[in-house]
Structure 1
């Protein structure tokens, strides 16, 4: 059965990949590959409506949401008061960054003690709440609800195809294998900055690059 997070369907995979995997296992591979792509870009990719998220106020012009792929901001509430839409704008949908127009966002967190206190450490206190829609309608969501229209960028769908293909293996060789030698049977793999195996092959990372959120 399809999952809302699925970035592709079985029909979008190459016939060679579909034929190499048991029918009962293929949906698991698709969901796992889709989750890997979402983890790589740094935020959920499937459409989510009416998300309510608290944000850290730093007393500056910018406010960052934890979610990326923000499609539309519906409401911003600061310390119980709704902020007028004309006082802010969604500056970066991918990075979930809102910019204040005029008055900066308030500082939320701890302050120094004394008569004239100053900001000490910015924290998420729940004083700034943002309601928004995020992500795109995925092929998985379309499979579960035929009234929806897929809006997921083609590059992200292709990234998932590449991950599934790598998982199934090309000619029996893992997609992230950098080299191998027949004598004594050794193999080497591409590694990430943390020294671990890469979850995504290079082709998938290239497709996903424009949508990846900076850490």
Structure 2
């Protein structure tokens, strides 16, 4: 059964990979890999319409949404009042960054006490509400609704193929083994950018680099 999260379909995989396991289990691999790729880039990749999200106001010209791949902003409310669409712009879809034109975004959070309070710590108070569409139509969404046309970037699809092929080939082994020695039971691992371990091959990480949201 396809999932909306699926960044590829079995037909996109090499024949050897498709024949390595039963179709039901391969479907689990595809969905699991798609979830891992989304975690790596830092936001959901499948198309989502009408996402309603509260945001943190820092009192400057930028407002950051939690999602990347923002396709269109429909509405911004500031303390219950809708802001005119001409007063902001989607400056970076990948980063989910809105630019205020003219009046800056208000500060939301804690203020110092006293005659002249000043911003202390920004936090999400629910005063800034943004409605937007994000993500791309995935192959999985197309399978579930054929009228949808896949527009997920080819490099993301290819990265997912790379990860599935690598994951299936090492089925039953630790996901990030770079080398191993049977004799002394020595094993080394791929290192992630943060020094930790990662199961994504370097080729997949390179393909995903333009879409990754900085931590």
Shift of 1:94: 0.4
| TM-score, with length taken from structure 2 | 0.95
The alpha carbon displacement at 1:170 in A equals 6.2
How far apart, in 1, do the equivalents of 2:110 and 2:173 lie?
54
**Structure 1: 5+ residue stretches without partners:** none
Q: Deviation of residue 68 (structure 1)?
A: 0.7
Task: Note the C-alpha offset of 1:180.
Answer: 2.8
Q: TM-score, normalised by structure 1?
A: 0.95
Deviation at 1:187, TM superposition (A): 2.6
Once the two structures are TM-superposed, the CA of residue 178 in structure 1 deviates from its matched residue by 2.4
Match of 1:151 in 2: 151
- Within a 5 Å distance, the mapping from 1:102-141 to structure 2 comes to 102-141=102-141
1 CA distance for matches of 2:42 and 2:172? 30
Gaps in structure 2 of 5+ consecutive residues: none
Q: Is the 8 A contact 2:88 2:101 kept in 1?
A: yes
Equivalent residue number for residue 70 of structure 1: 70
Instruction: Please identify, of 175-184 and 55-64, the stretch whose mean Cα deviation from structure 2 is larger.
Output: 175-184
Question: What's the RMSD between the two structures over aligned residues?
Answer: 1.7
What secondary structure sits across from 1:124 in the alignment? coil
SS of 2:19's equivalent? helix
Distance of aligned partners of 1:76 and 1:182 in 2 relative to their CA distance in 1, 3 Å threshold: same
Conserved in 2, the CA contact under 8 Å of 1:156 and 1:207? yes
Number of aligned residue pairs: 215
Question: How many angstroms apart in 2 are the aligned matches of 1:198 and 1:114?
Answer: 49
Distance 1:171 1:149 in 2: 32
Q: In structure 1, what is the equivalent of residue 86 of structure 2?
A: 86
Contact 1:165–1:175, Cα closer than 8 Å, also in 2: no
Q: Is the 8 A contact 2:7 2:139 kept in 1?
A: yes
